């Protein structure tokens, strides 16, 4: 039977999240769509579902994308049927869609309509126009959790997420602990976070208590205000909020509330909007702050005049000012190559200067400015801010602004950084940040190497940089990545070395940073990582000899064992050109040292979808670790719809001892190598769904197949005729005790969906039942475990002993297994 699923466009508009407990959404008014004659373009949507228990959804899932100037897409359906189950717990799904061009995405509305299962979203990423925008969620869409809504509004950022340390103090006026969900939203100069919830295992908001939380969300820039409140959904809905503290790596803010968040007390609201208090200045008369901005000896790409500055002190702040309005001389053009421009800002005394923010707005991403340093003089006090970095939105959303602390002693130190690139390079902008136990550096734009020439991260390059920045103390981690703006977006980063003040740090990566993985990565020094036992893995990969089996995409693998698992690594070799690997009918060998995972119980192998042939027919894989050999049968076509596959090994065998009279090379593996296994007879009964039974698809040449997996391995693919009512006999590999089955359908010319309700497998005296109750679509493979034997209800007290076998129990002349089969 042919079943065709047609994608439907929902007739509903996303509902505005508007409630007494959600003030920020009250400001978001419905936007009238702007009709565009532009044709549709392709977006790539990546959604990460959380690892919380039961955090997946069965959909349907919709997304709506908003840009600037009132541009927005329609509601876009990301799932075509309620049983697709693509958003499973701890999964990452990449979905290409077609929609109108709205420019750079700014925010999204995402929702699902599965009222039975809640959905926890970690984040959503959108790739379009060389932008990679991340929308951090970290929340449930669930009618029983948080704000009990199935939709959320999320805001985008191109920078890595920022960690916010939040401390909330409840006043002594509180009598009973608040048990209503508490939420918060942070607003800044660049963007704002989504509405996130403050959760802990224990009661947090009790009388005269302080509760601390660490939340990862968007980098909003300079924090301007917060909104905090609760949903009013508990048994206790009166909360006396005393104060809130918010701290990041570069900012610290404290907000005083001292009020009830309640529908019966004070202003009868469940939320409050808080701005940071600014104490009165000690000096009644304004004084002059003399600001000198030094531009490096590099001409800006475009003339820049909209440089803005914010100065923060211990007793107040000078809010963002446009520097050209305070220039001491109007005769020269500002911020030119090698210039030192002076500005005079009259303002009341703000106390000791703590930090400044300087930068410019650049929506067109045309400008780039190399800032050397900033000096600020107030009275006899002189503050120096060393920058030596590029400011440009082409490096990322927030890289046209920088926050700096004064450096009165001018005691910056030198960092020697060595970066080695592997098989694939990039021409994007590379950014590095160093974190220590005492401080962190700014974001270095790695543009110029040690000898002063331009840095080129090409294939097999070795680059050295001399960087100068504040001493961060002992280096704890680094963050490195690229903005993906160049033509080549796959960067194979091998390792990084950093030297400072006779301290040496090594970071081993051997990983691709690119479009299919994250652009940025956190790395821990090898010296701080726990030492793991290493092992040599010799891998043999066989590509099918069928037509069109080869690929030029990058091939990756991850190995799982009973003790540990490896990182995801690329299969490449220095002996051969990578373009010569994975050809039709070819056997390729690799050797790599990784952490010892113990006995291998699974591998994941796949490709990155790049190149001219993003399709690969893998025949088999063999891994030798020490004296153990693990063989994996695949016979699977991997394309853009299924880019990777999990494989389970046959029983490991001992490799033969080498004979003294004859030496053997490892290049002896062929696709015909098989493990000697015992064969047995399986009798398989398949019960199809009612829709399938009413069809005329009685086809013995079906592309529906079954794989039986047991403790001793698995069978080959067993073809299943459709609607055959008799038992189907297969004489094949004896897998031992059956642990699961794989039910799948190969790709075909027609959109055929097989509805399978039940599968029963008989092997001698053993009967194993699988209640599948699922639809098997083309080019998919589903996994099922045995269903437990249901005990029939007995009206009288049973006298069956625990030791009695199920096959020996009879009710009205029939055994329990017979009753189950008759059902």
The residue from 372, 404, 436 where one domain ends is: 404
Q: Does residue 810 lie in a domain region?
A: no
Q: Does residue 20 lie in a domain region?
A: no
Here the CATH number for the domain that contains residue 523 is: 2.60.60.20
Q: Is the pLDDT of residue 395 over 60?
A: yes
Specify whether 43 is located in the same domain as 103: yes
Exposure string of 695-727, with b = 16+ CB inside 10 Å and e = fewer, is bebeeeebbbbbbbbbeebbbebbebebbbeee
| Cα(709)–Cα(650) distance, integer angstroms | 10
Q: Does residue 299 lie in a domain region?
A: yes
Q: Does residue 806 lie in a domain region?
A: no
| Domain assignment of residue 710, given as a range | 679-687+702-784
Place of tokens 């059902």: 823
Contact 241, 261 (CB under 8 A): yes
Place of tokens 């508009």: 13
Average pLDDT over residues 68-92: 79
Looking at per-residue pLDDT, the higher value among 693 and 672 belongs to 693
Q: Does residue 803 lie in a domain region?
A: no
- Choose among 268, 280, 274: nearest CA to 232: 268
pLDDT in tens, 442-488: 788 888 888 778 888 988 899 999 888 888 999 999 999 887 776 76
- Choose among 299, 300, 224, 287: nearest CA to 255: 224
First and final C-alpha spacing in the chain: 24
How many domains are contained in the chain?
Answer: 6
Specify whether 49 is located in the same domain as 151: yes
Specify whether 394 is located in the same domain as 505: no
Tell me if residue 579 falls in helix, strand or coil.
helix
Contact 459, 423 (CB under 8 A): yes
Indicate the burial class of 553 (C-beta count within 10 angstroms; 0-12, 13-18, 19 or more): buried
Predicted local distance difference test score (pLDDT) of residue 807 = 37
Specify whether 44 is located in the same domain as 154: yes
Q: Is the pLDDT of residue 331 over 70?
A: no
110 pLDDT tier (thresholds 50, 70, 90): very high
Q: Would you list the DSSP string of 595-635?
A: E--SSEEEEEEEE-S-SS---EEEEEEEEEETTEEEEEEEE
The dihedral sign for the CA sequence 565, 566, 570, 575: negative
- Choose among 273, 282, 340: nearest CA to 313: 282
pLDDT in tens, 163-180: 899 999 999 999 889 988
Specify whether 65 is located in the same domain as 107: yes
- Least confident residue range of 77-81, 430-434, 576-580: 576-580
pLDDT in tens, 625-652: 988 899 999 989 998 888 999 998 875 4
Predicted local distance difference test score (pLDDT) of residue 250 = 81
Specify whether 149 is located in the same domain as 171: no
Q: How confident is the prediction for the chain on average, in pLDDT? A: 80
Predicted local distance difference test score (pLDDT) of residue 350 = 87
Q: Does residue 282 lie in a domain region?
A: no
| Cα(650)–Cα(631) distance, integer angstroms | 6
Exposure string of 138-176, with b = 16+ CB inside 10 Å and e = fewer, is bbbbbeebbbebbbbbbbbbbbbbbebebebbbbebbee
pLDDT in tens, 29-58: 444 444 445 678 999 999 999 888 888 888
Q: Does residue 24 lie in a domain region?
A: no
Specify whether 116 is located in the same domain as 144: yes
83 pLDDT tier (thresholds 50, 70, 90): low
Specify whether 563 is located in the same domain as 581: yes
The residue from 124, 158, 192 where one domain ends is: 158
660 pLDDT tier (thresholds 50, 70, 90): very low
The residue from 356, 373, 404 where one domain ends is: 404
| Cα(65)–Cα(157) distance, integer angstroms | 14
Place of tokens 């803005």: 308
Q: What percent of the chain has pLDDT over 90?
A: 26
Looking at per-residue pLDDT, the higher value among 261 and 577 belongs to 261
Q: What are phi and psi of 266, to 5 degrees?
A: 50, -125
pLDDT in tens, 785-808: 998 764 443 333 333 344 444 334
Tell me if residue 463 falls in helix, strand or coil.
strand
Predicted local distance difference test score (pLDDT) of residue 160 = 72
- Least confident residue range of 146-155, 340-349, 745-754: 745-754
Specify whether 153 is located in the same domain as 196: no
Q: How far is CA 524 from CA 29, 76, 250, 508, 538, in A?
A: 45, 40, 21, 9, 27
Predicted local distance difference test score (pLDDT) of residue 64 = 94
- Least confident residue range of 379-388, 429-438, 471-480: 379-388
Exposure string of 364-396, with b = 16+ CB inside 10 Å and e = fewer, is eeebbbbbbbbbbebeeeebbbbbbbbbbbbbb
Specify whether 132 is located in the same domain as 198: no
pLDDT in tens, 54-77: 888 887 899 999 987 778 999 999
Specify whether 226 is located in the same domain as 262: yes
Q: Is the pLDDT of residue 585 over 60?
A: yes
812 pLDDT tier (thresholds 50, 70, 90): very low
Q: What percent of the chain has pLDDT over 70?
A: 80
* C-alpha 805, offset from chain centre: 49
539 pLDDT tier (thresholds 50, 70, 90): very high
Q: Does residue 97 lie in a domain region?
A: yes
Q: Is the pLDDT of residue 761 over 80?
A: yes
Specify whether 306 is located in the same domain as 384: yes
**DSSP category for residue 367:** -
């Amino acid at each position: 039977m042919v079943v065709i699923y047609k994608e439907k466009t929902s007739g509903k508009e996303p509902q505005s999240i508007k409630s007494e407990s959600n003030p920020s959404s009250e400001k978001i008014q419905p936007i009238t769509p702007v009709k565009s004659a532009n044709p549709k373009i392709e977006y790539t949507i990546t959604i990460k579902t959380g690892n919380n228990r039961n955090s997946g959804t069965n959909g349907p899932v919709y997304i709506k994308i908003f840009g600037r100037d009132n541009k927005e897409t329609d509601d876009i359906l990301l799932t075509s049927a309620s049983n697709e189950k693509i958003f499973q717990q701890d999964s990452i799904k990449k979905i290409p869609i077609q929609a109108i061009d709205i420019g750079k995405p700014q925010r999204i509305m995402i929702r699902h309509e599965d009222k039975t299962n809640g959905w926890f979203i970690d984040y959503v990423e959108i790739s379009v126009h060389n932008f990679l925008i991340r929308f951090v969620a970290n929340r449930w869409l669930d009618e029983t959790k948080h704000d009990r809504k199935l939709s959320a509004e999320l805001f985008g950022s191109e920078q890595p997420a920022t960690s916010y340390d939040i401390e909330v103090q409840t006043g002594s006026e509180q009598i009973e602990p608040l048990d209503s969900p508490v939420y918060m939203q942070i607003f800044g100069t660049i963007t704002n976070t989504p509405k996130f919830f403050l959760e802990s295992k224990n009661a947090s908001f009790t009388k005269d208590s302080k509760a601390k939380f660490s939340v990862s969300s968007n980098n909003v820039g300079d924090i301007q205000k917060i909104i905090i409140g609760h949903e009013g959904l508990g048994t206790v809905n009166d909360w006396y909020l005393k104060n809130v503290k918010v701290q990041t790596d570069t900012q610290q803010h404290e907000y005083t509330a001292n009020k009830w968040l309640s529908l019966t007390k004070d202003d009868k609201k469940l939320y409050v909007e808080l701005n940071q208090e600014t104490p009165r200045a000690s000096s009644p008369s304004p004084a002059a702050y003399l600001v000198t901005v030094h531009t490096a000896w590099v001409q800006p790409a475009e003339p820049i005049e909209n440089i803005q500055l914010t100065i923060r002190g211990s007793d107040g702040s000078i809010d963002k000012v446009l520097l050209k309005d305070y220039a001491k001389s109007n005769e020269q053009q500002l911020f030119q190559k090698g210039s030192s421009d002076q500005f005079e800002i009259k303002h009341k005394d703000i106390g000791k200067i703590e930090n400044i923010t300087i930068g410019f707005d650049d929506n067109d991403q045309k400008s780039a400015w190399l800032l050397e340093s900033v000096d600020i003089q107030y009275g006899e006090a002189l503050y120096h801010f060393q920058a030596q970095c590029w400011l440009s939105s082409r490096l990322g959303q927030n890289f046209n602004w920088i926050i700096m602390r004064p450096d009165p002693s001018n005691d910056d130190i030198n960092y020697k950084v060595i970066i080695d690139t592997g098989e694939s390079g990039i021409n994007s902008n590379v950014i590095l940040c160093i974190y220590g136990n005492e401080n962190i550096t700014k974001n270095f734009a790695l543009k110029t190497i040690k000898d002063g020439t331009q840095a080129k991260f090409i294939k097999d390059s070795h680059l050295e940089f001399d960087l100068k920045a504040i001493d961060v103390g002992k280096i704890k981690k680094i963050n490195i990545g690229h903005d993906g703006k160049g033509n080549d977006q796959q960067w194979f980063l091998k390792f990084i070395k950093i030297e400072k003040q006779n301290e040496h740090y090594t970071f081993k990566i051997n990983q691709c940073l690119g479009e299919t993985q994250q652009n940025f990565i956190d790395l821990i020094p090898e010296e701080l990582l726990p030492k793991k036992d290493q092992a040599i893995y010799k891998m043999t990969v066989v590509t099918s000899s069928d037509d069109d089996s080869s690929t030029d995409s990058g091939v990756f693998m991850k190995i799982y064992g009973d003790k540990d698992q490896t990182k995801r690594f690329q299969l490449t070799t220095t002996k051969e050109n990578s373009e010569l690997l994975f050809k039709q009918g070819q056997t390729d060998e690799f050797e790599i040292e990784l952490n010892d995972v113990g006995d291998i119980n699974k591998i994941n192998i796949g490709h990155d979808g790049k190149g001219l042939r993003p399709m690969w027919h893998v025949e088999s894989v063999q891994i030798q670790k020490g004296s153990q050999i693990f063989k994996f049968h695949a016979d699977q076509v991997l394309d853009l719809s299924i880019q990777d596959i999990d494989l389970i090994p046959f029983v490991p065998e001992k490799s033969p001892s080498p004979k003294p009279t004859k030496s053997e090379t490892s290049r002896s593996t062929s696709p015909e190598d098989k493990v000697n296994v015992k064969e047995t007879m399986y009798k398989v009964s398949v019960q199809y769904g009612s829709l399938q039974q009413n069809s005329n698809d009685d086809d013995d040449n079906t592309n529906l197949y079954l794989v039986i997996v047991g403790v001793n391995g698995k069978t080959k693919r067993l073809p299943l005729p459709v609607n055959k009512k008799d038992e189907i006999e297969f004489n094949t590999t004896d897998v031992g005790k059956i642990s699961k089955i794989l039910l799948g359908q190969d790709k075909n010319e027609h959109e055929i969906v097989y509805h399978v309700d039940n599968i029963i497998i008989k092997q001698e005296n053993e009967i194993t039942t699988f209640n599948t109750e699922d639809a098997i679509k083309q080019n998919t493979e589903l996994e099922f475990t045995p269903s437990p034997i249901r005990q029939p209800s007995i009206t009288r007290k049973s006298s069956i002993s625990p030791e009695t076998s199920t096959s020996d129990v009879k009710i009205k002349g029939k055994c329990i297994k017979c009753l189950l089969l008759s059902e």
